[in-house]
Amino acid sequence: MSTKFSEEFIRRIPKTDLHVHLDGSLRIPTLIELARKDGVKLPSFEEAGLKELVFKKSYADLREYLQGFIYTVAVMQNAENLERMACELAEDNLAEGVRYMEVRFAPQLHCRPGFTLPQIVRAVCQGMDRAKREHNNRPEVKNEQDVPFEYGLIACAMRSFNEHMSPYYAQILQVMSYAPRKEIYATASLEMARAAVDLAHHEGLPVVGFDLAGEEAGYPAVGHREAYLYAHRHFLKKTVHAGEAYGPESIFQAITECHANRIGHGTFLFAADMIRDPDIEDAEAYVRHLADYIASQRISLEVCLTSNLQTTPSIRSVGEHPLRKMIEHGLSVCLNTDNRLVSDTTVSHELQIAADNIPMTPHQFRNLVIGGFKGSFFPGSYSAKRAYVRQVVRRYQTLEKELLGAAST
């Protein structure tokens, strides 16, 4: 299917990435270089070898998809490496027109004696700030011929973990060895939420949200309710990986029990056949009411097309992805990479494959792009966010008129 939206147009318009994991978005040459320096053993020290053995075009399931993080996290254990990775991630996004991004990562994966949570988050901020300064000092930005770069950080808790994932997790498992595993996971999440609030409100760092990541099936978000309540009571915005490997009930739980402002993925929002609660007598009505509620409350869905295709065998093509149904239902949707390295993608690519495979009017496509800015957990005031979004819209409209002409009306 031909597209109304050219590659040049998609590359040049201001874009967002609200769902991008730092540990899934390294440059392969950087991973190899740092692994050699730090003595980390990789399955291959050649880019082609890593693409064949680890970072593939397709994966059997989400569990295989997550295997590559063993190697990326292993080289993210000091401030110098984290700062470099964050800077390179921002540079890669800036090069393709991304002007706002929210980088999510789990600081507890990198925490160890002598390397504290504040130090970890500051290192990521320093890398992001370096790229931000370079871009925002460009003449095009100062002359308002380009949009300034802004970012926020999202602190991730993990649905589950083991002692091999980090010294922090090993310690909490040892200290709480008397407790059930799910209680230990919940305790770690609450500690992460408390740290995130402190970093945002007392340290003044751009920690804008709290998330729950990791394998969804078998580890419901409700088990981390206290962490989300803490974030909620302290005005920290919340997103939850939900509906990625489980059905509509997971999304409902994220909204009602965890007060989610956004949903990560939401792939199975419309999958009435996945509902398991015997008390839900009319599954289709349940899904319809859920979708209507999400639409009316403008709870944004962070859709990651390529990632979903790689981890969800039941979705065989972009055309089969529920994105089209989400748009038709008037839901607030934005497209994201999830993991630039693991999924071998960019924001521009995500928008291009959506435009090529899902019929959209210029108005719908504009909503898809601008929706990322509107749904962001912007680190400034609400009035500052509105001013920033207006600047983005003006830039988008200028490029729309220049490159699409009559097709944009």
Residues with a catalytic annotation lie at: 244
Q: Which amino acid appears at position 36 of this protein?
A: R
With CA atoms as reference, report the closest residue to 30 among 90, 98, 76, 97: 76
Burial 157-191 (b: 16+ CB within 10 A, else e): bbbbbeeebbbbbeebbeeeeeeeeeebbbbbbbb
Q: Which residues contact 305 (CB under 8 A, 6 or more apart)?
A: 318, 321, 323, 335, 350, 353, 354
Separation CA 166–CA 107 (nearest Å): 10
Q: Which residues contact 22 (CB under 8 A, 6 or more apart)?
A: 76, 85, 86, 89, 103, 104, 105, 124
CB atoms < 10 A from the CB of 380, how many?
Answer: 14
With CA atoms as reference, report the closest residue to 300 among 326, 282, 320, 321: 326
Provide the 3-class DSSP secondary structure of residue 97.
Answer: coil
Task: Report the half-sphere exposure of 216 (CA within 13 A, side-chain side).
Answer: 23
